[in-house]
Amino acid sequence: MTRIIPRTKFLLIAFAMLFLYGNLSAQNNQNNAAIRNRVKQIFEYSNTQNWTAMREAAADTMKMYSIAGEVVINNPDDLIAYFKNNYAKFPNEHSTIENLIILGNKAIVKEKITGHENDVPIYDVLIFEFAENKIASAWVIFE
């Protein structure tokens, strides 16, 4: 037997669902905006060599992995040492966000790096996982 929901009850349920979806969507948009801003800040910190801010943007337990799953960076201090070493070799290095996609607490970034040998840009893809607005994990896929 099919039960018919009275029109007013149906409308109340429909409005409640729309309200709930609207709030979830708004929360999701706020989360996306926060992650988008954080990613842009991380690139700014790297390009301006603001290591203090970069350190604060990464969780203490942050690790970076290659696409094969190998740990390439063990902690935030190793990440900063990597950047410092790179800037010593290539003082004109500059990273640009080509594309940025946010999925939940992850950001997928296509990065363009200039200022290396022969002025040929290097491209890679980074995947950042965030927890409490800090990089919890990262993966890198080099060109």
Q: Is residue 1 part of a domain?
A: no
**Dist. CA 115–CA 90, nearest whole Å:** 7
pTM: 0.78
Residue 32 in any domain: the answer is yes
pLDDT at 67: 83
Give the pLDDT of residue 2.
Answer: 47
Give the whole-angstrom CA distance, residue 81 versus residue 28.
34
**How much is the pLDDT for 27?**
56
Distance CA 138, CA 108 (A): 10
Q: Which two tokens stand for residue 10?
A: 């149906």
**pLDDT digits (tens), the chain, 143 positions:** 445 445 555 545 554 554 455 444 555 777 889 999 999 999 999 999 999 999 999 999 999 998 888 999 999 999 999 999 999 999 999 999 999 999 889 999 999 999 998 889 999 999 999 999 999 999 998 87
| Residue 50 counted as domain residue | yes
2 domain residue, yes or no = no
Rounded Cα gap, residues 95 and 82, in angstroms? 14
Is residue 61 in a domain? yes
Phi/psi of residue 35, each to 5°?
A: -70, -45
d(CA 63, CA 138): 6
> Residue 90 phi/psi, 5° resolution?
-130, 80
Tell me how far CA of residue 124 lies from CA of 60, 96, 102, 131, 143, in angstroms: 24, 11, 17, 23, 5
**What pLDDT sits at residue 11?**
47
**82 falls within a domain:** yes
The single residue listed with the structure tokens 């010593």 is 88
Number of domains in the chain: 1
Domain that residue 15 falls in: 7-142
Residue 38 belongs to a domain with what CATH number?
A: 3.10.450.50
Q: How far apart are the C-alpha atoms of 122 and 114, rounded to whole Å?
A: 7
3-class SS of residue 65:
strand
Whole-number pLDDT of residue 142:
84
